[in-house]
A and B are shown apart, each in its own frame.
Chain A
């Protein structure tokens, strides 16, 4: 009996051959995805129910010896440091992202027309988001030194020289971190929102102008409604990334002074590498997983409407 493989290629059903090739093509990606999700998920589920830490000396499969049920989950609900770090993260996001959005939108509106030097200005303005975040962190570390240019610039406006210790003062450290984030990521909003603005049909804008609409009216009745989706995409992207904030911040302040700039990622980093309470970290990780997945599902349902 001849099998599929025996028949020459030309006589095999094209659809089969396509499906077969498609399967093989997607296989590597599927394997990698599985590799990075299956084991980590199961492993974290396991040790989140224990009090295991690498300090115990046992390898992690023996974590059951330190079983403590849902204690970790209960702990994280009352963990002050965790919630304060979440609060700080949300604070950073709530301040930085809207500013980035508004500045990016403003810049984008200035770039809709052509003007001399536009290409050069554009290239320079999008450069910050391509700077390695860790390096950007160091840039701002240097800028905010008490003897550094930021104080130097401020001193131009005050009688006495300004010598704020930005990064060692708990109240100003967070400000410095937010400034660094705004510097680095406003260009991203600028880039995306400009692409959206340019996509607003010129003819409709002209028709509106001919009907007597002022620039402000055109903005509100035509530009913004047509950009709703893009603005949402830009905001969503930026919020998600900002919640994960780590590199720049960590280089600038290390989470300090004290825990003044300890955001969620920094907190998890600290208890992973210093306290080494990995069972607890796993519980936090899974809690985050659940919350974010629920959020994503809710968002997708709303979008599908």
Chain B
């Protein structure tokens, strides 16, 4: 009933294609994050699900029901805008009960449900206050409550935490997630912050320039990025991606990274898949997945960021940089660091297409 399916969905604005043909299935009760940089098409997609924009091509189905022609007031979706769109000329109560009043519910029922929702969100004391001048955190709760009170099967949120102060963001993340668990709604959550997506979502749809790059669980997109974009976008800092040539050494197939040196030998399965008529590849590894190794890459230290719990090293030579992240505050040699990526963490990508090279 509240599963969403996008079939060959396309959106054009004049000559500009905001969303290229996209297929996506969101399960009933699933928390799906649409993640990507500005302009990637995530908000456009969500606007079409809500009914605020019409698809240029393709279909949107809720369950088995095609939503073409269904106006946005009748789709049974809740929507939280980035700037909350609170009715600033009305009190908190009038905001919360707006949907119920517009659908003509009896006054007693409206009152009861409004007060229940207000209690749930900690807004009980503020019910009859005007909304003007309230803090952003409270406004966000009103925005959520205003939609949630209608008990929609599908909840759409457009970057709801981008206006919230950083300290409060973590609190709101857990609240949103528990709300979703409690009400079992299907939630579609648009964000450009990969940390938000990683911590909250059941699955993440990574998008860039109107194209879906990868759909998977947080762990999947983290550990098995489908292409260089996802590899770089996920993780903070993102995966190191270095261009290189395959080079046969006496210990196995390795990658010559030019100025950065020669990598340790690739694991056999990866080496077998890599060869496939290629000579150039992109060698990737996450900054966290490295260990000191005298036989590995020897790289000059450019700068070390010590931020307390972690230390981020920027290493490189000749214009190419590589990042490494170590826990805590280790002592470091002044000039050169020798390290090697953990073998299981090495990823290869096709130099031409950027697609991941899967193990044979």
Given known pairs A203-B81, A207-B79, the reply for A212 and B102 (CB within 8 Å) is: yes
The size of the chain A interface, using a CB distance under 8 A, is 17
Segment with Cβ contacts to A, from B70-78, B193-201, B297-305, B335-343? B70-78
Say if the beta carbon of A77 comes within 8 Å of chain B: no
Which residue of the partner chain, among A206, A211, A214, contacts B52 with CB atoms under 8 Å? Answer: A206
Say if the beta carbon of A201 comes within 8 Å of chain B: yes
In the complex, per-residue mask of A200-230: 1 if CB is within 8 Å of any chain B CB, else 0: 0101101111111110010001100110000
Which residue of the partner chain, among A203, A210, A222, A225, contacts B73 with CB atoms under 8 Å? Answer: A210
Say if the beta carbon of B98 comes within 8 Å of chain A: yes
Bound complex: CA A227 to CA B77 (Å): 29
For B72, the chain A residues whose CB sits under 8 A away are: 206, 209-210
Within the complex, what minimum Cβ distance (angstroms) separates B172 from chain A? 19
Given known pairs A212-B73, A212-B74, A214-B73, the reply for A207 and B81 (CB within 8 Å) is: yes
**A-B interface contact total, Cβ < 8 Å:** 59
For B88, the chain A residues whose CB sits under 8 A away are: 204
Bound complex: CA A209 to CA B71 (Å): 9
Which residue of the partner chain, among A208, A211, A222, contacts B150 with CB atoms under 8 Å? Answer: A211
In the complex, per-residue mask of B137-148: 1 if CB is within 8 Å of any chain A CB, else 0: 000000000110
Say if the beta carbon of B83 comes within 8 Å of chain A: yes
The size of the chain B interface, using a CB distance under 8 A, is 24
In the complex, chain B residues 50-73 whose Cβ is within 8 Å of any chain A Cβ: 50-52, 71-73
For A225, the chain B residues whose CB sits under 8 A away are: 89
For B135, the chain A residues whose CB sits under 8 A away are: none
For B52, the chain A residues whose CB sits under 8 A away are: 206, 210
In the complex, chain B residues 81-96 whose Cβ is within 8 Å of any chain A Cβ: 81, 83, 85-89
Query: Among A204, A210, A221, A225, which residue has the most Cβ atoms of chain B within 10 A?
Result: A210
The answer to whether A209 touches B89, judged by C-beta atoms less than 8 angstroms apart, is: no
The residue in chain A whose Cβ has the minimal distance to the Cβ of B75 is A210
Say if the beta carbon of B99 comes within 8 Å of chain A: yes
Bound complex: CA A203 to CA B159 (Å): 14
Bound complex: CA A203 to CA B88 (Å): 12
Which residue of the partner chain, among A208, A210, A212, A217, contacts B87 with CB atoms under 8 Å? Answer: A208
For B147, the chain A residues whose CB sits under 8 A away are: 210-211
Bound complex: CA A226 to CA B88 (Å): 9
Bound complex: CA A217 to CA B98 (Å): 11
Bound complex: CA A261 to CA B52 (Å): 53
Which residue of the partner chain, among B86, B89, B98, B99, contacts A226 with CB atoms under 8 Å? Answer: B89
The answer to whether B102 touches A217, judged by C-beta atoms less than 8 angstroms apart, is: yes
The answer to whether B81 touches A212, judged by C-beta atoms less than 8 angstroms apart, is: no
Given known pairs A206-B52, A207-B79, the reply for A213 and B85 (CB within 8 Å) is: no
Within the complex, what minimum Cβ distance (angstroms) separates A208 from chain B? 7
The answer to whether B73 touches A211, judged by C-beta atoms less than 8 angstroms apart, is: yes
In the complex, chain B residues 34-64 whose Cβ is within 8 Å of any chain A Cβ: 50-52
For A212, the chain B residues whose CB sits under 8 A away are: 73-74, 99, 102-103, 150
Given known pairs A225-B89, A226-B89, the reply for A210 and B102 (CB within 8 Å) is: no
In the complex, per-residue mask of B182-223: 1 if CB is within 8 Å of any chain A CB, else 0: 000000000000000000000000000000000000000000
Within the complex, what minimum Cβ distance (angstroms) separates B158 from chain A? 10
Bound complex: CA A204 to CA B86 (Å): 7
Bound complex: CA A39 to CA B268 (Å): 104
Query: Among A204, A222, A225, which residue has the most Cβ atoms of chain B within 10 A?
Result: A204
Query: Among B74, B83, B85, B147, which residue has the most Cβ atoms of chain A within 10 A?
Result: B85
Within the complex, what minimum Cβ distance (angstroms) separates A68 from chain B? 56
Bound complex: CA A206 to CA B146 (Å): 13
Within the complex, what minimum Cβ distance (angstroms) separates B37 from chain A? 22
Within the complex, what minimum Cβ distance (angstroms) separates A4 from chain B? 46
The answer to whether A222 touches B99, judged by C-beta atoms less than 8 angstroms apart, is: no
Bound complex: CA A201 to CA B85 (Å): 8
For B83, the chain A residues whose CB sits under 8 A away are: 203
The residue in chain B whose Cβ has the minimal distance to the Cβ of A225 is B89
The residue in chain B whose Cβ has the minimal distance to the Cβ of A210 is B79
The answer to whether B102 touches A207, judged by C-beta atoms less than 8 angstroms apart, is: no
The answer to whether B89 touches A208, judged by C-beta atoms less than 8 angstroms apart, is: no
For A217, the chain B residues whose CB sits under 8 A away are: 102
The answer to whether A203 touches B85, judged by C-beta atoms less than 8 angstroms apart, is: yes
The residue in chain B whose Cβ has the minimal distance to the Cβ of A207 is B85
For A206, the chain B residues whose CB sits under 8 A away are: 52, 72, 81, 85
The answer to whether B87 touches A204, judged by C-beta atoms less than 8 angstroms apart, is: yes
Within the complex, what minimum Cβ distance (angstroms) separates B148 from chain A? 11
Other 11 A-B pairs with CB < 8 A, given A206-B81, A207-B87:
A203-B83, A204-B85, A208-B98, A209-B71, A210-B52, A211-B147, A212-B99, A213-B98, A221-B98, A221-B102, A222-B87
Question: 25 A-B residue contacts at CB 8 Å?
Answer: A203-B83, A204-B88, A206-B52, A207-B87, A207-B146, A208-B102, A209-B71, A209-B73, A210-B50, A210-B77, A210-B147, A211-B73, A211-B99, A211-B146, A211-B150, A212-B73, A212-B74, A212-B99, A212-B102, A212-B103, A213-B98, A213-B99, A214-B102, A221-B102, A225-B89
Top 10 A-B pairs, shortest CB-CB distance: A211-B99, A203-B85, A207-B85, A213-B102, A212-B73, A210-B79, A204-B85, A212-B102, A225-B89, A209-B73
